[in-house]
Every structure is written in C-alpha cells, then in structure tokens.
Amino acid sequence: MHTLEQLQAALSYDPDTGIFTWIEPHSPRLKVGQIAGCVATVGYRYICVDQNKYLAHRLAILFTTGEWPEHDVDHVNCNRDDNRISNLRNATRTQNMLNRAGPQSNSSLGILGVSPCKNGKFKAQLSADGRHVHISEHETAEQAHAAYMEAKRKYHKH
C-alpha cells in the first residue's frame, strides 16, 4: 500500500469529473496527463501504481478526505465508472446492496423486485432491515415492478 503522499505524487484527481490522470507514470507505456486506469468487466475503474491495484472510487475518497473509506463506497447513480466525488458516498455493505440497478443473476424474469406466482400473477417483494417484505401481487410484471419501486423508496431510505 502506498501513502496518500506517494499516490498524490503519481496521480492527479479532478473531483468535478471523477477522472484520475498521471503526474508521474509508473510504466513506459503511460504518459503524463493520460487518464489513469482501466475499466474491468464488472464496471469499476482500477488504477495500478507499482503493481498495487486500487479501485478509483476508493482513491477518490482518499484524495478528498485524506483517509481510506471505512466501509463500502456507493455510486449514487449506479454507474461504477462515475467517480465524481458528488456521486460517491460512504455506505455499509447493506446500504450499498440496496442501490442495485438491476435484478440478481438468478432472476427468472430479469426484473428487479419481481417474481412469478403459481397463480399466474406477479409478486413484488424486497428485503428491508434483514427481513423479507411481500409487497403485493399484480396481473403484469410491469405493475409489480412499479409497486416494488414505490416500496423501495419507502423502505430503502439510503
């Protein structure tokens, strides 16, 4: 792990754009002023300094506060490569997981918060405060998703 001072000597961070650029590249392939890092398949930007890999959103918190984030860092708009400081917030793992943009990979319908019922209807459901909440049943998956989104605003305050 590098110190903040070592990272600031190598990288510049613009909190308004969320972009890191190289001040002192650590590889002959990199140029001064070039955007640092690359976006992994999961959508997060990683920046390597002397073979140490850092998540850009965690570096953004470090560069603006002077301390590593204690817990997770949540992207408010769900864009994992939008590292503007206004788009980042400290969050617990639970709070971070509430900010899902899409359904879980094992979703049979591919619609967040909706699953089919045996009676042919669709149920809206979510988890809140460690418990499962059945919201309602609907004729269409779209209606159930709308009910889910309304309940999400009520139950998921973060």
Tell me the pLDDT tens digit for each residue of 93-137. Answer: 766 666 665 666 556 777 878 889 999 999 988 877 667 778 889
Residue 125, CA atoms < 13 Å, CB-side half-sphere: 12
The per-residue pLDDT for 104 is 63
27 and 81 in a single domain? The answer is yes
Task: Tell me the average pLDDT of the chain.
Answer: 88
Among 72, 94, 116, the domain-final residue is 94
| pTM of the complete model | 0.69
- Kindly list the distances between the CA atom of residue 54 and the CA atoms of 1, 44, 71, 84, 135, in Å, as whole numbers in the listed order: 9, 10, 15, 16, 40
24 and 81 in a single domain? The answer is yes
Q: How many domains does the chain have?
A: 2
Give yes or no for residue 73 having a pLDDT over 80: yes
Give yes or no for residue 12 having a pLDDT over 60: yes
36 and 18 in a single domain? The answer is yes
**Contact, 83 vs 18, CB < 8 A?**
yes
The per-residue pLDDT for 154 is 80
Residue 138, CA atoms < 13 Å, CB-side half-sphere: 18
Q: Assign residue 131 the CATH number of its domain.
A: 3.30.730.10
